[in-house]
Structure 1
């Protein structure tokens, strides 16, 4: 089953720029310092549990390289008495994208590929792409692409590729038929989502993708896409390692991210959350922790939306970004590489009107705020389809993330309003 995503709410507060009668009473897991230091954020995330809108919520906020404050409310599931905390496991979905983007930047730093190098140098099937004459229109009314897809295009969603959660009509069906998906949501059939059998590997997915037309001319339009999943295949070929093995060796192990995986080990189910669909005032568990689809090895590691992680682990990743490649005495990348990754990589000519990043920039898998953004420049990060959001604010010197598990993520304004609420605390 395809991963679902809320669209306009996906970015939510990144610009810094139905109640359930079944929900148990709030189990509290926040630190007192979190309530004192970030009172608006504390009240905000706790309110969703107090109002019985979400089972559990958590925030992680750190200043500079200091230890993060973790504070939250509620439990890992409606029928659980396990309070959420820094080591609770959450489905990150598209918060995976910046991780994949940073992994690609490591190979650029290594000199194994270049930012503006055609991906066809490594994936020859993408050498001669066609583009739909009409986006989401006929699959046969096409014309040759004028521009080769580059590494930059994949990092910034400007390759012209599609996404099953965005596209409509024949191209969406072609993606579904080919098993070109960016994540999995449940073992259960979900209303409105046709059953899809994912491609059996990143290599097969990439080859099937190359055989289909692009939706847009590369380099001309920002369009949310499967590009970070294709980046996973590019990383495999360029590095000579399996994509998940590369992430473990170059990011997760050095950063001490021991609770970050593409599937949840059976031994860790006790700290895994249940994912819910708010419907008619009730939270419906469509991916229970004990029978989650994340307990299976995925058909391939979804670089655009497949990771499960803890708030403690993802904070280590954000701390590394805020430290421009270094945290805890461990340097992952050069400062100049980190700064490039978190900079706006889009040309002014790229059309962003009406998209998630209208008025914003984009870097290596994440949104980049601009001087004209609501809270100024310096923000880099992204959000996930199940309500999570994580970012660094380089100008203010903070890293922040919020966690909940519900889909679609615009069902309640948890993700959408988190960054604005955080700003009230740190800019007061």
Structure 2
């Protein structure tokens, strides 16, 4: 596929209202591919400016990769071990019981936590944490406590609610990386913003990333307006509550903003194994599948549940084997069309940003759009067009695996 074909297909997705805009950055390890493209508008209003290559996107859960890198950096420096108990550093998390449901009188059934919570648990979503907005039992408990779910200006207040299983018992996508970010802050006596600036962003020449774009007018002006898809399937400006409204702390699981140009710099560093972010050994740790057989079963069950429809991009959980690594989703089995070779690390964010690092194919890509519903079908279609097009341009596609 030539670039013109990819760009034509993505432009059609924009014209059809499948996505409001799209920004692509992609590169291969050999330096033969260094591709970027932008299409669409900064908002859906008539006369809106065209989106450009330096648009700044809400990264949302694409922030998790950055926090995982930061966590492995502090491990490299000997500040904590992957199997160390985090209780002393995160007492607000450590004091939480496990919510097992409700009795016949609708009273919560709570049990004491029986095993330590480790950094590995946090980085793999096996700590027992969940998102209160995504778990019926936590929603009920928060309602009984008179607390609005999904609120709180910082991690300690926002995420301090019971676990839903004993640490290590299973897998559940969760606020664990927010806690991991707070752990980095407390280990380094720094904010996550300052830590990432000094240890991730500045070493790679990144200038667009921040947890607080409203405090940086030059960046805020580059953030496209969030869109949402209505019941009629049409996009309009998003009017609802916003995940970062009122945040005063850095949420390592969902709080950062940045351009796709700068996000690709992180992916390229990982792909090149250049040592600027992580040692070769830590890089392998970032990509390695981490889940036990029991955790894999719960991971697959979650992926095939209604929540699984909120995963970013078009992932075929039925046909292909997936796992979880410190850095995100890892594809244990490569796709037949040549995408996502075995060992590919990938994930995205609530507003349908998407990224992937395929070390076997030697390819990295980042895609940005801003539709607030995670797992939006139109965005998934666009991501698939982009993925297939980038692999083809790089000459990495193959008929079968």
Within the candidate set 300, 316, 323, 1:353 is matched to: 300
Provide Cα deviations, 1:178-213, integer angstroms capped at 9, x if missing partner: 5774xxxxxxxxxxxxxxxx334334446xx1xx32
CA contact (8 A) 1:135 1:215 kept: no
RMSD: 3.0
Query: In terms of mean alpha carbon deviation, does 97-106 or 159-168 score higher?
Result: 159-168
1: CA distance between counterparts of 2:96 and 2:373? Answer: 33
2: CA distance between counterparts of 1:300 and 1:152? Answer: 23
Which residue is equivalent to 1:117? 84
Q: Does 2:152 align with 1:199?
A: yes
2: CA distance between counterparts of 1:85 and 1:413? Answer: 21
Within the candidate set 222, 225, 246, 1:274 is matched to: 225
Which residue is equivalent to 1:395? 360
CA contact (8 A) 2:130 2:175 kept: yes
Which residue is equivalent to 1:164? 132
**Secondary structure, in 3 states, of the residue corresponding to 1:141?**
strand
Which residue is equivalent to 2:268? 319
- The change in CA–CA distance for 1:269 and 1:377 in structure 2 (over 3 A counts) is same
**Secondary structure, in 3 states, of the residue corresponding to 2:299?**
coil
Within the candidate set 19, 25, 39, 1:54 is matched to: 19
CA contact (8 A) 1:90 1:310 kept: yes
Which residue is equivalent to 1:18? none
1:10-409 pair list within 5 angstroms? 36=2, 38=3, 41-64=6-29, 66=31, 68-79=34-45, 80-127=47-94, 129-134=96-101, 140-171=108-139, 174=142, 181=150, 198-205=151-158, 209=160, 212-264=161-213, 265-279=216-230, 280-286=232-238, 298-326=247-275, 331-350=276-295, 351-356=298-303, 359-371=321-333, 375-409=340-374
CA contact (8 A) 1:88 1:272 kept: yes
CA contact (8 A) 1:325 1:338 kept: no
The alignment covers a number of residue pairs equal to: 366
Which residue is equivalent to 1:6? none
TM-score, length-scaled by structure 1: 0.77
Provide Cα deviations, 1:64-108, integer angstroms capped at 9, x if missing partner: 163731113212112344322221111111111111111111011
CA contact (8 A) 1:58 1:71 kept: yes
Query: In terms of mean alpha carbon deviation, does 223-232 or 361-370 score higher?
Result: 361-370
1: CA distance between counterparts of 2:103 and 2:279? Answer: 41
**Secondary structure, in 3 states, of the residue corresponding to 1:272?**
coil
TM-score, length-scaled by structure 2: 0.82
Using CA pairs under 8 Å that are at least 6 residues apart, name the structure with larger relative contact order, 1 or 2.
1
**Secondary structure, in 3 states, of the residue corresponding to 2:247?**
coil
Structure 1: runs of 5+ lacking an equivalent: 1-34, 182-197
1: CA distance between counterparts of 2:274 and 2:284? Answer: 9
CA contact (8 A) 1:263 1:297 kept: no
